[in-house]
Amino acid sequence: MDERKFLILQAIIDDYITTAVPVGSRTISRKSGVGFSPATIRNEMSDLEELGYLDQPHTSAGRVPSAKAYRWYVDQLLSAGPLSKEDGDRISGHLSMRSQQLEQVIRRAAQTLSELTNYTSLVMVPQMQSMRIMRVHMVHVTETMALMIVVTNAGMIKDSLIRIPEGISGDILYKISNMLTEQLAGLTLDEIRQKFAEIFKDLRENRKLFASVLDALENRMAEGESEMVVGGGANLLHYPEYSDVEKARNFLSVLESKEKLYPLLRSAGTLEFSIRIGPENDLPELSECSLVTATYRIGEDTRGTMGIIGPTRMNYQRVISVLDFMGKALSDLLTKDK
Amino acid sequence: MDERKFLILQAIIDDYITTAVPVGSRTISRKSGVGFSPATIRNEMSDLEELGYLDQPHTSAGRVPSAKAYRWYVDQLLSAGPLSKEDGDRISGHLSMRSQQLEQVIRRAAQTLSELTNYTSLVMVPQMQSMRIMRVHMVHVTETMALMIVVTNAGMIKDSLIRIPEGISGDILYKISNMLTEQLAGLTLDEIRQKFAEIFKDLRENRKLFASVLDALENRMAEGESEMVVGGGANLLHYPEYSDVEKARNFLSVLESKEKLYPLLRSAGTLEFSIRIGPENDLPELSECSLVTATYRIGEDTRGTMGIIGPTRMNYQRVISVLDFMGKALSDLLTKDK
DNA sequence: ATTAGCACTCGACAACAGAGAGTGCTAGCA
DNA sequence: TGCTAGCACTCTCTGTTGTCGAGTGCTAAT
């Protein structure tokens, strides 16, 4: 696979990404500096098809890049290009509106991402696994229910309702909260489990309560991560790939079932960037889509994931740039004001 | 407008609702007990068209009910028919999954509504205006921020971050919380404003803190209502009205901008049922949709709104039944376990 | 090794005919 | 007088046909 093939493949992909129309030899010959005649290019294209980089919808249509081609394309591309000043400002602007609630920030990030790329965006609320607990509070909601509020080192606040034994006064709840904060501050979930085992040993009263608390902590920290925000779901309908209503509906219903979406984002792991192209996605509904994900940080060791879903012929360059910038912006914002 | 016209109009609407195809005289004559020949029915149809109840897409197509016809139809219908046992069970089943968080219940309600009707559902988190406060808690999040938790008589929990002056210890915050709960329990927002005026007069220390608290209460209770959940957005794509991608996109982008949706639901007011048909909606994007809304109660004087959006030819009968049942189910669920 | 030229393929699109559904009108019937 | 049968007419929908153009693969010439 020589230099020239690269050039031609590149040209084909570039063209197809913007036009969504199978691209022919003449087009390539005319456009883009490659100074060869259509015939030459045809030969090369023929080779490229044999190698699996191009598909032909039918004889006498142009060629279309295959998933393999995109894969090659993005592998070659993985340096995030700089983002236009304008777009950068837009991101900063949208995010900087002072909103203390994490949820708000996430929502706004998703919206900005989809507006900037014109694709669909997903942003996951960061995973608590490795977070450290800073404070624990419990307050009465009814006689037998309390709200447990956990503040983590990342400045995140999680609350959950827990059932408590009757007859526990507000004062006691307050004391216990203080005690818990004192004991648990700075610990991760794993360490908390241990600690609880200790505490439990020489505990006489309120065993039930403590059990509830541990339970809630476990649940909240493990499950809490499944929260996710989707932005710009309707954007996909702009693209000719989805002028078929059937396909559009399929796509949209995936977006509505977070159970399907979640493992998708999850499986990207903690890589800085991950790009899944078409069939590389496990979901058959998304076999004609690409998913680009990136991570953002909160503090040192907490990471969140966000991603963009678009047609396989998406503008990877731009998507990566935007995600890169957004990742930094989010990390800054969320880490700074801790 | 005589008896027979009623019958025929009814038959036309019924037919069109299920088929979405312009209905002709022969169809009506054959189907539905109206024992008249096509010719007679044609004459009546001609009259109905003159009266504004029918439209004709073009000569020699069947007739299509106009917005006016639907209006007549639903006015005549307004008694919610009984729901099939099966569907009722399904609603109860979906809701009964124990989920204490109001948010969860709302979300599930929206999902159930859209599944049962195959249209798009909207459910608004209830409006706090007339709620009474039961408890107020404040707990530290950082040195200068606290989380204020308000529990209302409806069992709703709202929290908001407030900025507090430095140097206030947890103990003081706890005492103040208790004091606030004592003073404010059972009051509505209006009454709280008064109370605060009193308290403020002979207050020396902590004026700033109290100001923050009042501020947060105001904001939270006024703005909080704009929260809304959308279910089954992709459902509309099932219907031939939306086989045009352009229209579908328009519709979906309305769903994504809650600013547009909110006044829509809001304007339905506190009527038990409200039906807005096609152009009766203020949003031009929804001029080919109908919106049926209903309310549910939490306790005595708090109401939430929910609604179904579908094509104008939606199955009003069923939608009303489902909404009616859901309203009762939600009211029960949310009022009971207080 | 490259390119010009040519025959061939195949989808897109317009034009067209026929079928079918529906209407309005008129005339006949109870 | 009210209903209906019949008929001519209109208009959409569908399938067919033919043409156009873009694109290919191959061969021969440079």
What would the pLDDT profile of B279-291 be if each residue is shown by its tens digit? 999 899 999 999 9
pLDDT of the residue at B317? 92
pLDDT of the residue at A130? 67
Is-contact A238 A310, C-beta < 8 A? no
Distance A49 CA to D24 C1' (A): 13
Q: Which among B155, B161, B248 has the least Cβ separation from residue A237?
A: B248
Q: How confident is the model at residue A338 (pLDDT cuts 50, 70, 90)?
A: very low
What would the pLDDT profile of A114-163 be if each residue is shown by its tens digit? 999 999 999 988 766 667 888 999 999 888 888 898 888 766 788 888 88
Beta-bridge partner residues of B278: none
Q: Which of these, B88, B98, B27, lies nearest to B61 by C-alpha position?
A: B27
* Interface contact A234-B249, CB threshold 8 A: yes
Q: What is the mean pLDDT of chain B?
A: 87
pLDDT of the residue at A204? 73
What would the pLDDT profile of B177-204 be if each residue is shown by its tens digit? 999 999 888 888 888 888 888 887 777 7
Looking at the complex, does the CB of residue A338 fall below 8 Å from at least one CB of chain B? yes
Cβ-Cβ contacts under 8 Å, B142 against chain A: 151, 155, 338
What would the pLDDT profile of B134-173 be if each residue is shown by its tens digit? 899 999 988 888 889 888 876 678 888 888 888 889 999 9
pLDDT of the residue at A336? 66
Share of chain A above pLDDT 70, in %: 92
Is the per-residue pLDDT at A256 higher than 80? yes
Beta-bridge partner residues of B223: none
Pick B56 or A99 by higher pLDDT: B56
Q: How confident is the model at residue B338 (pLDDT cuts 50, 70, 90)?
A: very low
Is-contact B47 B5, C-beta < 8 A? yes
Nearest nucleotide to B23 by CA–C1' distance?
A: C22
Q: What is the mean pLDDT of chain A?
A: 87
Is the per-residue pLDDT at B174 higher than 70? yes
CB pairs under 8 A between A and B: 87
Q: Per-residue pLDDT averaged across B103-123, rounded?
A: 93
Distance A198 CA to C20 C1' (A): 84
Query: How many Cβ atoms are within 10 Å of A267's Cβ, its own excluded?
Result: 14
Dihedral through CA B308, CA B313, CA B314, CA B317, nearest 10?
120
What would the pLDDT profile of B205-237 be if each residue is shown by its tens digit? 778 888 888 888 887 766 555 678 999 999 999
Give me B329's structure tokens: 């189910």
pLDDT of the residue at A129? 60
pLDDT of the residue at A98? 56
pLDDT of the residue at A224? 52
pLDDT of the residue at A128? 63
In sequence order, which residues have a C-beta less than 8 Å from that of residue B81 and are 6 or more positions away?
A: B317, B320, B321
Chain-centre distance of CA A257, in angstroms?
15
Q: How far apart are CA A316 and CA A67, in angstroms?
A: 13
Backbone angles phi, psi at B97, to 5 degrees: -50, 125
Is-contact A122 A326, C-beta < 8 A? no
Beta strands in B196-317 (DSSP E): 228-231, 273-277, 289-298, 302-311
Q: Per-residue pLDDT averaged across A43-63, rounded?
A: 93
Cβ-Cβ contacts under 8 Å, B249 against chain A: 234, 237-238
pLDDT of the residue at B319? 95
Looking at the complex, does the CB of residue B252 fall below 8 Å from at least one CB of chain A? yes
**Sign of torsion over alpha carbons B93, B96, B97, B99:** positive
Element (H, E) at A147: strand A145-152
What would the pLDDT profile of A282-321 be if each residue is shown by its tens digit? 899 999 999 999 999 877 777 889 999 999 999 999 999 9
Give me A158's structure tokens: 């999680």
**Which of B68-77 are b and which e, b meaning 16 or more Cβ less than 10 Å from the residue's Cβ?**
ebbbbbbeee
Cβ-Cβ contacts under 8 Å, B103 against chain A: none
Give me A229's structure tokens: 């925000």
Q: Per-residue pLDDT averaged across A151-180, rounded?
A: 85
Q: How far apart are CA B122 and CA B291, in angstroms?
A: 10
- The bridge status of strand B133-140 relative to strand A120-124 is unpaired
Element (H, E) at A114: helix A102-117
Q: What is the pTM of this model?
A: 0.84
* Interface contact B139-A142, CB threshold 8 A: no
Element (H, E) at B145: strand B145-152
pLDDT of the residue at B90? 92
Distance B54 CA to D8 C1' (A): 25
Look at A169-178, B82-91, B200-209, B283-292 and tell me which has the smallest mean pLDDT. B200-209
pLDDT of the residue at A154? 67
Looking at the complex, does the CB of residue A174 fall below 8 Å from at least one CB of chain B? yes
